[in-house]
């Protein structure tokens, strides 16, 4: 078995002290950038591996950060994770990814597992389902939802919400302006001459879906269009669900001439149903989604959607975590970042002459 490279080997190779090598590997500000880069480059060439356990014992940190998402098979959440990793990896952190599948009980299990792993922080998007009873699988007892998060706070573990959040004192968040995104999407449909605009909503107990509903409603009111509650239908953000509720909308005595969906997936379901019924998009019915999933621009009938800047959202969430670590997770360091959405206009909604965005 070959001998493992040590900091002393690197120091000898570069003719510097082992202390200098150690400081460079640990991003000590006293070390120049040129020296740090030289040490890191030499360490990589010599296949040096830091003893993370010893590093953790010395610093009192595990250099692990938990990231909890509803699901990973979504470009939005995958892009947020990429942004988090891009920001944290250069700082020596590793990311542990957990999925809840929108189940509160799994959310609790994930948080408990991350606490047992002694993570230095948790960055998460909360589940969309409101379970009547959340049961702790370890104790078989019911749990109050806020206690799940308060457990992290009591242990002084930084908690940062992104996209889907809860309002908890001392907890930071990074979100998109969902109200504005929905308002702009609805205004765009109105500008295309649409007057009977349906809304595929989701669980409005969730702040993001409530704000998208309110943005949609306000745009109608501001344009003098009567708000019709019958045109608002809640459904899961899935293709089959979007198709199912669109069947109901098209069966109305006066069907809608446009659909604004809180999700690209339910918007895709709506499009499939509209086309299957022999209607034209956007001539008969326009469709706008939300999230700007990759498929929206690559389809032959490209889909207008609201972009949420997920990679940037991830980077900022990671930066907020790093700031809180520096501040000792002080409640005063609580920060709420709201990103501006961008409407990506494509074929599914464009009735009038206007520029198409990629």
Q: CA-CA distance, 295 to 275, in Å (whole number)?
A: 17
pLDDT for 49 equals: 73
Percent of the chain whose pLDDT exceeds 90: 62
Global pTM? 0.80
**Checking phi first, is residue 102 left (phi over 0); if not, alpha (psi -120 to 50) or beta?**
left
Residue 163 has pLDDT above 90, yes or no: yes
pLDDT for 306 equals: 98
Mean pLDDT of the chain: 88
pLDDT for 195 equals: 95
Q: What distance lies between CA 55 and its chain's CA centroid?
A: 30
Three-state secondary structure of 148-192: HHHHHHHCCCCEEEECCCCCCCCCEEEEECHHHHHHHHHHHHHHC
Count other Cβ atoms within 10 Å, centred on residue 25.
19
pLDDT tens for 234-284 read: 998 999 999 999 999 999 999 999 999 999 999 999 999 999 999 999 999
DSSP at 350: -
Question: CA torsion sign, 307 to 311 to 312 to 317?
Answer: positive
pLDDT tens for 25-81 read: 877 778 888 998 899 889 888 888 766 555 665 666 788 999 999 999 889 999 999
Residue 131 has pLDDT above 60, yes or no: no
**Checking phi first, is residue 16 left (phi over 0); if not, alpha (psi -120 to 50) or beta?**
beta
Residue 1 has pLDDT above 50, yes or no: no
Highest mean pLDDT among 118-132, 203-217, 342-356: 203-217
Pairwise pLDDT comparison (146 vs 163), residue with the higher score = 163
**Checking phi first, is residue 291 left (phi over 0); if not, alpha (psi -120 to 50) or beta?**
left
Q: CA-CA distance, 227 to 88, in Å (whole number)?
A: 46
Structure tokens, 79:
């892009």
- What backbone phi and psi angles, to 5 degrees, belong to 35? -65, -45
Structure tokens, 135:
């049961």
pLDDT for 64 equals: 92
Q: Which residue has the tokens 């339910």?
A: 266
Residue 2 has pLDDT above 90, yes or no: no
Helices (H), the chain: 7-14, 18-25, 33-45, 52-59, 75-88, 104-116, 145-154, 178-191, 207-222, 239-250, 264-276, 295-298, 310-326
The full set of domains in the chain, from first to last, is 7-50 (1.10.260.40), 62-176+310-339 (3.40.50.2300), 178-307 (3.40.50.2300)
């Amino acid at each position: 078995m070959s001998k493992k490279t040590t900091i002393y080997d690197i120091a000898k190779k570069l003719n510097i002290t082992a202390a200098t090598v150690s400081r460079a590997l640990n991003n000590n500000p006293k070390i120049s950038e040129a020296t740090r880069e030289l040490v890191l480059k030499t360490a990589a060439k010599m296949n040096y591996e830091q003893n993370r356990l010893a590093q953790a014992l010395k610093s009192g940190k595990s250099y692990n950060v938990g990231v909890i998402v509803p699901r990973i098979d979504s470009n939005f959440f995958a892009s947020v994770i990429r942004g988090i990793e891009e920001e944290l990896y250069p700082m020596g952190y590793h990311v542990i990814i957990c999925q809840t599948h929108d189940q509160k009980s799994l959310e609790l299990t994930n948080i408990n597992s991350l606490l047992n792993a002694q993570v230095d922080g948790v960055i998460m998007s909360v589940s969309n389902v409101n379970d009547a009873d959340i049961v702790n699988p370890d104790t078989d007892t019911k749990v109050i939802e806020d206690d799940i998060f308060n457990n992290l706070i009591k242990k002084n573990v930084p908690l940062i919400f992104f996209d889907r959040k809860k309002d908890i004192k001392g907890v930071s968040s990074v979100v998109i302006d969902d109200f504005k995104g929905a308002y702009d999407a609805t205004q765009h449909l109105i500008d295309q001459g649409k007057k009977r605009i349906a809304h595929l909503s989701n669980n409005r107990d969730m702040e993001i879906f409530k704000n998208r509903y309110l943005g949609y409603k306000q745009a109608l009111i501001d344009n003098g269009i009567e708000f019709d509650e019958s045109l608002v239908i809640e459904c899961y953000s899935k293709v089959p669900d979007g198709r199912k509720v669109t069947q109901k909308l098209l069966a109305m005595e006066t069907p809608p001439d446009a659909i604004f969906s809180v999700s690209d997936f339910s918007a895709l379901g709506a499009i499939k149903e509209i086309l299957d019924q022999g209607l034209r998009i956007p001539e008969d019915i326009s469709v706008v989604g939300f999230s700007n999933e990759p498929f929206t621009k690559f389809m032959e009938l490209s889909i207008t959607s609201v972009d949420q800047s997920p990679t940037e959202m991830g980077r900022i969430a990671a930066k907020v975590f790093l700031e809180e670590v520096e501040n000792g997770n002080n409640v005063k360091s609580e920060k709420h970042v709201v990103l501006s959405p961008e409407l990506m206009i494509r074929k599914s909604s464009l009735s009038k002459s206007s520029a198409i965005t990629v």
